[in-house]
């Protein structure tokens, strides 16, 4: 790893080569002594662009450590329920849209991993970029001890109500896990009619690693479903609004009427019966 910086002609290396090298580094694989060594070598270069590269390198390392400490708190929150060995976090997305299903995910993480093996950047899915969510969703699925995804369709919501469906997708997601958890942490709501130990965590996707992980994979799953619907119903901008009531979405309903994936019970007070 250090070979390029040990080179006696270090200052003769091009800026592009050095930038490419530094940008390829993963703090996950670096020890503190490696970071200090690299930073010192960069600082010894008298070129302004390399001096700035050294500053960015150390700033990136500091940000990495801040993120590591933040994630430690999320994992420690879940580990705080020490009487339970297997904890599932469950969260939903899609409670408020005018179209599409409500989706829930349940995730059981390995909470006994050492720091560098924790999943960094877990957070409320709405606070992450689409690309970051997609990337994290794949990592979560590969590292989780178990995960599951469930949904209630728009017709289920119209027939039974959003409150019932919200509770139902929580239950279905937990019941679908390949491993039975000892405790379920649910975001915001205690699961009704549920026999297993359950604790509701307000704003859980910002406090619990397991709930945050569930939030991310549920949102990625639902967003991708709505992108598929955008190809079927191109006028409604589903690939951007994912079913929420944006101006463009409502204007499309007023012009073209409701589709088969719209929640009719959500539309009555917005556009009137003539468009249903």
- How confident is the model over 183-222, as pLDDT tens digits? 999 999 899 999 899 999 999 999 999 999 999 999 999 9
- 24: confidence class by pLDDT, cuts 50, 70, 90: confident
Instruction: Look at residue 1 and tell me whether its pLDDT is greater than 50.
Output: no
Q: Nearest CA to 215 among 129, 126, 132? A: 126
Return d(Cα 34, Cα 27) in angstroms, integer.
Answer: 10
Return d(Cα 147, Cα 140) in angstroms, integer.
Answer: 9
Which of 13-22, 120-129, 140-149 bottoms out in mean pLDDT, i.e. has the lowest?
Answer: 13-22
Residues in the chain: 276
Most confident of 1-5, 23-27, 45-49, 64-68: 64-68
Q: Are 96 and 244 a contacting pair, CB within 8 Å?
A: yes
Give the three-class secondary structure for 178. coil
Return d(Cα 242, Cα 239) in angstroms, integer.
Answer: 6
Residue set of the binding site for a divalent metal cation: 91-92, 187
For residue 206, what pLDDT is reported? Answer: 94
CB atoms within 10 A of CB 158: 16
Residue 31 CA neighbour count, 13 Å, CB half:
5
Return d(Cα 204, Cα 74) in angstroms, integer.
Answer: 10
Q: Nearest CA to 210 among 110, 61, 113? A: 110
- 144 vs 3 pLDDT, higher one: 144
Instruction: Look at residue 275 and tell me whether its pLDDT is greater than 60.
Output: no
Q: Are 106 and 214 a contacting pair, CB within 8 Å?
A: yes
List the structure tokens of 24.
Answer: 């390829």
For residue 268, what pLDDT is reported? Answer: 81
Which of 177-181, 237-241, 264-268 bottoms out in mean pLDDT, i.e. has the lowest?
Answer: 264-268
Chain centroid to CA 225: 16
Q: Give the residue ranges of DSSP H helices in the chain.
A: 3-6, 15-24, 32-43, 48-79, 130-143, 154-160, 162-175, 209-232, 238-241, 247-256, 264-271
Instruction: Look at residue 156 and tell me whether its pLDDT is greater than 90.
Output: yes
Return d(Cα 96, Cα 101) in angstroms, integer.
Answer: 10
Residue set of the binding site: 91-92, 187
Q: What is the DSSP letter of 191?
A: P
């Amino acid at each position: 790893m250090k070979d390029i910086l040990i080179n006696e002609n270090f200052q003769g290396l091009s800026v592009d080569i050095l930038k490419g090298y530094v940008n390829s580094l993963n703090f996950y694989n670096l020890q503190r002594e490696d970071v200090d060594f690299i930073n010192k070598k960069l600082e010894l270069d008298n070129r302004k662009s390399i001096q700035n590269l050294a500053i960015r390198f150390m700033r990136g390392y500091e940000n990495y450590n801040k993120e590591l400490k933040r994630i430690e708190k999320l994992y420690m929150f879940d580990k705080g329920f020490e009487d339970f060995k297997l904890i599932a976090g469950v969260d939903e997305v899609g409670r408020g849209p005018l179209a599409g299903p409500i989706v829930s995910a349940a995730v059981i993480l390995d909470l006994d991993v050492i720091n560098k093996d924790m999943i960094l950047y877990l957070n409320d899915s709405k606070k992450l970029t689409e690309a970051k969510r997609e990337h994290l969703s794949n990592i979560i699925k590969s590292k989780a001890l178990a995960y599951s995804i469930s949904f209630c369709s728009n017709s289920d919501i119209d027939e039974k109500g959003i409150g019932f469906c919200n509770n139902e997708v929580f239950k279905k997601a937990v019941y679908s896990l390949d491993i039975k958890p000892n405790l379920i942490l649910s975001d915001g709501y205690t699961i009704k009619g549920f026999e297993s130990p359950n604790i509701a965590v307000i704003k859980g996707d910002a406090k619990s690693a397991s709930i945050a992980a569930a939030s991310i994979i549920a949102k990625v799953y639902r967003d991708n479903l709505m992108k598929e619907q955008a190809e079927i119903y191109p006028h409604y901008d589903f690939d951007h609004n994912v079913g929420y009531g944006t101006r463009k979405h409502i204007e499309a309903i007023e012009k073209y009427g409701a589709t088969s994936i719209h929640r009719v019970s959500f539309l009555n007070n917005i556009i009137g019966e003539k468009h249903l």
